[in-house]
Chains A and B, each alone.
Chain A
Amino acid sequence: MFGRLVYESFRRQKRRKLLAGVAITLGVGVATAMIAVATDIGDKISRELRTYGANLIVTPQEDSLDLQIDGVDLKPPSDGAYLDEADLPKIKGMFWRNNIVGFAPMLPLNVHLGNNLDAKNVTLLGTYFSKRLTFGKQNFSTGVRITHPWWKVQGAWPDDNSSDVLLGESLATKLGRTAGDEIEIAGQAHRVTGILSTGGAEDNQIVAPLALAQQILGRPGAVRRVYVSALTKPEDAFARRDPQTLRGPEYDRWYCSPYAASIAFQLQEAIPHSHAEQIRQIAQNEGTVLSRIKGLMLLVTLAALFASALAVSAAMATAIFERRGEVGLMKALGAGSISIASLFFAEALLLALIGGVVGFAGGALLARQIGRSIFDSQITIEPVLFPVILAIAVIVTFAGSAMAIRRAVKFDPVYALRGEA
């Protein structure tokens, strides 16, 4: 009998059930999409923040002081120590290798341009543009196109294995060269594939493949410093502790957290005779920006949950309020308050489950769409979210119905049957 009452109620009142069901579905859908986006936004923004460039730098351990003013290196190339290029692919063998977005080695040196008549001293910077490397079974490409995304080239990027070069914007204007021209560096002619614009010191420099710079310097395999762009976790009090004072499980926890400091520590382990340090301008600010955006999305999600809960409650209250006549009839036929209430709750449960499942599926699709159109990547939805969402849907639907059911049950059947609301 009970089952039949519920069944008939759904069969005969399609419009009302549809309205309540649509409200629940919409509420659950928006809640799912918002929760999925809010839980994943940290990851996504963290990746977007990599457009600020490298957040870690690796230098030789026994290095002499930098003599850099406005990005121009005044240090004689004979001075100081070098890292070995052959060690670099080991970065991809670290514990946090999947958090390394890319790295770019740098080798600056001073070169003479042209013939002896108007010889000119400029800085030539050797680096990777988008070099294909292998470590173990992994193939990957890395270079300044990943670590320095604000570098813009008019023309084409040179190949990493060629002896072509890029010419800085200001230098190109001074020399009167454009893309496609040739330039004589240290007595040899090289093709200029493009004009580089960075808004920094590189605008006055020549940027060449690393191998070419090493060849001009006469030091194969030499690298002055390596910029590393890594996905990191915002620094907290634990991250600032000195790894040497940590013991046992604490050390493991520190080592296995992707803090900038622990990734720097692992870089130092991976590359012999190196010193790795976070670039504080980038690494420190990342955390604050990230936490602000995450906090914002969390609060917006709370607001969305609150609004959809109220909407679902309102829809349920309306649906039950409309059925006072029915309640009156049941009461007049001798039904007790408990059986009436359980009928309504059973209906609400059914609606919540159907609306919850459909809403979750819709919300998941919506979240994917948002991820694809804004971040060009998938938003992953945790499977654990499904029972949570369903539970929330049932609780909210019950809470929204409870008041209306109480009032409907208390209503005098005589008035209800006469249609006097």
Chain B
Amino acid sequence: MSRNSDLVNRRASKPHTSMFLRMLMRAAVLRRGRAASALLAMVVAAAVATAMLNLYVDVQAKLRKEFRNYGANIVVVAKNGETLPSDTLDKVESALAGRGLAVPFGYVVARTSDGQSVVVAGTNLDQVRKLDSWWSVTAWPSASQDALVGTRAVAVVSPQGKPFDLNFQGRSMHLIPSGNLRTGASEDSRIYLSLQDFESWTRVQPSTIEIAASGSSEEVGNLIQRLSRAVPAADVRPIRQIMEGEAHVLGKTRATLAAAAVLIIATAALCVLSTLIGWVFDRRRDFAIMKALGASEGLIGGFFAAEAAALGAVGALVGFGIGVGVAAWIGRVNFHAPVVPRFNVLPLVLVGSIAVALISAVLPIFLLRRVQPAMILRGE
């Protein structure tokens, strides 16, 4: 008796699950065409969703890099027209920790040989070239005593491009114009020297440090607070023109991209829904046979749900791979840097895909529940 019931139990449980798996497998293998088209729809939807989410997350970092071409977003200025303490640049660099570029500037008003005033600036020219990429320069200075002359200052100091002398507090400096500088702003009226030349001639230390800090506006805000604590002798100010412009354009772009992402993902999801509903409706004969053979509604629902979930999971995984590829391609083509795959998008895509698949499986079953199996088998 006990052996018998044992057998009944085994029959009830073990073959049951293996039969379940077998039905799942056979359904996929036998109706290859239909299963493949449902899977294809799933994969495309998941790929598109992944690509859009990846882009949405990454585009901010990509665009911020482009916005850094606008130059400095923070400026450190000595208070009351004095110069900065000599260790300021080191302090700024350590607060920056490599997440940006800091360039010192020193300024004096010198006199030309015929007594005209001109602003002379000393700076690290190699770094300026990176910081202010919009400067249009005919030739950057390379040797000592080479000077970069603003396009409006040229007419005053060396109209024929000849070497010239400048005077500051009784000390004179012989300079060779290496190239012209054109920016359309106050730089055009200045003469730029390397910091070594500038300091040895004028004995004046830099008074300004311009910083192009990368990161979100909160990160830049935190950096400004850290800098003001590190350099109490100076004013640390955000350059509002640059920061607000950036935030504004970035916000609009992200909003547009978000709208596009919502539209595209919604279309993809609805199309998966319609394809899968068609697929399940098409198999109402299977449903009717199962029901006629005595399967409970829960079992049938579970069967179709399991099938849909498997389809959703496989589609999501394959689609994720393809979507990451698409996002990387878009990044390479547009920003010349691939979009880094974000694996935290994966659970979102996976859950979303399975949810859509489950809805599209359960909906037809719910509709077919009331129909007598005989009606379906007769083809009505």
Which A residues form the contact surface with B (CB < 8 A)? 16, 19, 22-23, 26-27, 30, 33-34, 37, 41, 44-45, 48-49, 51-53, 56-57, 63, 65-70, 74, 148-150, 197-200, 277-285, 288-289, 292-293, 295-297, 299-301, 303-304, 307-308, 310-311, 314-315, 317-319, 321-322, 366, 370, 374-375, 419, 421
Q: Which residues of B contact A200 (CB under 8 A)?
A: 239-241
Residue-wise, chain B 99-142 has the 8 Å CB interface mask toward A (1 for contact) of 00000000101000000111100000000000010111000000
Docked-complex contact B248 and A51, CB < 8 angstroms: yes
> In the complex, A71 Cα to B248 Cα: how many Å?
24
- Taking A23-B270, A26-B270, A374-B252 as known contacts, 13 extra A-B pairs with beta carbons closer than 8 A to each other, sorted by chain A number, are A23-B274, A65-B153, A67-B109, A150-B240, A197-B240, A198-B240, A200-B240, A281-B134, A285-B70, A292-B63, A311-B268, A314-B41, A319-B278
Q: Offer 20 A-B interface pairs, CB within 8 angstroms, sorted by A.
A: A23-B274, A26-B267, A26-B271, A34-B264, A37-B259, A52-B70, A69-B107, A69-B119, A200-B240, A279-B185, A280-B184, A281-B132, A282-B70, A285-B67, A289-B249, A292-B335, A296-B253, A296-B330, A297-B260, A314-B271
Given that A19-B274, A26-B270, A66-B189 are contacting pairs, would A51 and B245 also be in contact in the complex, using a CB cutoff of 8 Å? yes
Given that A296-B257, A297-B260, A307-B268 are contacting pairs, would A44 and B252 also be in contact in the complex, using a CB cutoff of 8 Å? yes
Query: Which of B59, B136, B156 contacts A296 (CB under 8 A)?
Result: B59
Shortest Cβ gap from B159 to chain A (Å): 13
- Which chain B residues (236-253) contact chain A, with CB distance < 8 Å? 237-245, 248-249, 252-253
Query: Which of A27, A67, A301, A321 contacts B189 (CB under 8 A)?
Result: A67
Query: Which of A70, A278, A318 contacts B208 (CB under 8 A)?
Result: A70
Q: Closest residue to A149 on the B side, CB-wise?
A: B244
> In the complex, A281 Cα to B264 Cα: how many Å?
36
Q: Is B186 an interface residue (CB 8 A)?
A: yes
Query: Which of A16, A281, A303 contacts B326 (CB under 8 A)?
Result: A303
Shortest Cβ gap from B278 to chain A (Å): 5
Residue-wise, chain B 36-66 has the 8 Å CB interface mask toward A (1 for contact) of 0100110011001001100100010011001
Give chain B's interface secondary structure class: helix
Q: Which residues of B contact A53 (CB under 8 A)?
A: 241, 245
> In the complex, A317 Cα to B256 Cα: how many Å?
33
Q: Which of A292, A317, A321 has the most CB of B within 10 A?
A: A292
Q: Which residues of A contact B275 (CB under 8 A)?
A: 314-315, 318
Q: Which residues of A contact B183 (CB under 8 A)?
A: 279-281
Q: Closest residue to B59 on the A side, CB-wise?
A: A296
Shortest Cβ gap from B361 to chain A (Å): 15
> In the complex, A164 Cα to B326 Cα: how many Å?
58
> In the complex, A280 Cα to B238 Cα: how many Å?
21
> In the complex, A14 Cα to B60 Cα: how many Å?
46
Shortest Cβ gap from B273 to chain A (Å): 10
Docked-complex contact A289 and B67, CB < 8 angstroms: yes
Docked-complex contact A30 and B263, CB < 8 angstroms: yes
Which B residues form the contact surface with A (CB < 8 A)? 31, 33-34, 37, 40-41, 44-45, 48, 51-52, 55, 59, 62-63, 66-67, 69-71, 77, 107, 109, 116-119, 132, 134-136, 152-153, 156, 182-186, 188-189, 207-208, 237-245, 248-249, 252-253, 255-257, 259-260, 263-264, 267-268, 270-271, 274-275, 277-279, 282, 326, 330, 333-335, 379
> In the complex, A297 Cα to B279 Cα: how many Å?
34
Q: Which of B45, B260, B270, B277 has the most CB of A within 10 A?
A: B260
> In the complex, A366 Cα to B242 Cα: how many Å?
32
Shortest Cβ gap from B268 to chain A (Å): 6
> In the complex, A314 Cα to B44 Cα: how many Å?
11
Docked-complex contact B44 and A307, CB < 8 angstroms: yes
Shortest Cβ gap from B367 to chain A (Å): 11
Docked-complex contact A280 and B182, CB < 8 angstroms: yes
Docked-complex contact A51 and B330, CB < 8 angstroms: no
> In the complex, A383 Cα to B124 Cα: how many Å?
55
Q: Which residues of A contact B334 (CB under 8 A)?
A: 292, 295-296, 299
Q: Which residues of B contact A56 (CB under 8 A)?
A: 184
Q: Closest residue to B259 on the A side, CB-wise?
A: A370
> In the complex, A374 Cα to B183 Cα: how many Å?
33
Q: Which residues of B contact A314 (CB under 8 A)?
A: 37, 40-41, 44, 271, 275
Shortest Cβ gap from B289 to chain A (Å): 13
> In the complex, A175 Cα to B69 Cα: how many Å?
37
> In the complex, A150 Cα to B246 Cα: how many Å?
11
Q: Which of B135, B256, B267 has the most CB of A within 10 A?
A: B256
Nearest 6 pairs of A and B residues by beta carbon: A199-B240, A311-B271, A52-B245, A66-B189, A68-B186, A295-B334
Q: Closest residue to A294 on the B side, CB-wise?
A: B334
Q: Which residues of B contact A279 (CB under 8 A)?
A: 183-185
Docked-complex contact A280 and B278, CB < 8 angstroms: no
Docked-complex contact A65 and B107, CB < 8 angstroms: no
Q: Which residues of A contact B34 (CB under 8 A)?
A: 321
Query: Which of B107, B119, B189, B257 contacts A300 (CB under 8 A)?
Result: B257
Q: Which residues of A contact B257 (CB under 8 A)?
A: 296-297, 300
Docked-complex contact A49 and B249, CB < 8 angstroms: yes
Docked-complex contact B256 and A310, CB < 8 angstroms: no
Q: Which of A57, A150, A311, A321 has the most CB of B within 10 A?
A: A311
> In the complex, A6 Cα to B208 Cα: how many Å?
79
Q: Which of B51, B109, B117, B132 has the most CB of A within 10 A?
A: B117
> In the complex, A66 Cα to B150 Cα: how many Å?
11
Docked-complex contact B77 and A70, CB < 8 angstroms: yes
Docked-complex contact B256 and A65, CB < 8 angstroms: no
Given that A280-B134, A280-B183 are contacting pairs, would A308 and B241 also be in contact in the complex, using a CB cutoff of 8 Å? no
> In the complex, A303 Cα to B186 Cα: how many Å?
45
Q: Which residues of A contact B31 (CB under 8 A)?
A: 421
Shortest Cβ gap from A174 to chain B (Å): 11
Query: Which of A33, A63, A199, A318 contacts B241 (CB under 8 A)?
Result: A199
Docked-complex contact B330 and A48, CB < 8 angstroms: no
Q: Closest residue to A301 on the B side, CB-wise?
A: B260
Q: Closest residue to A275 on the B side, CB-wise?
A: B152
Shortest Cβ gap from A36 to chain B (Å): 11
Docked-complex contact A300 and B238, CB < 8 angstroms: no
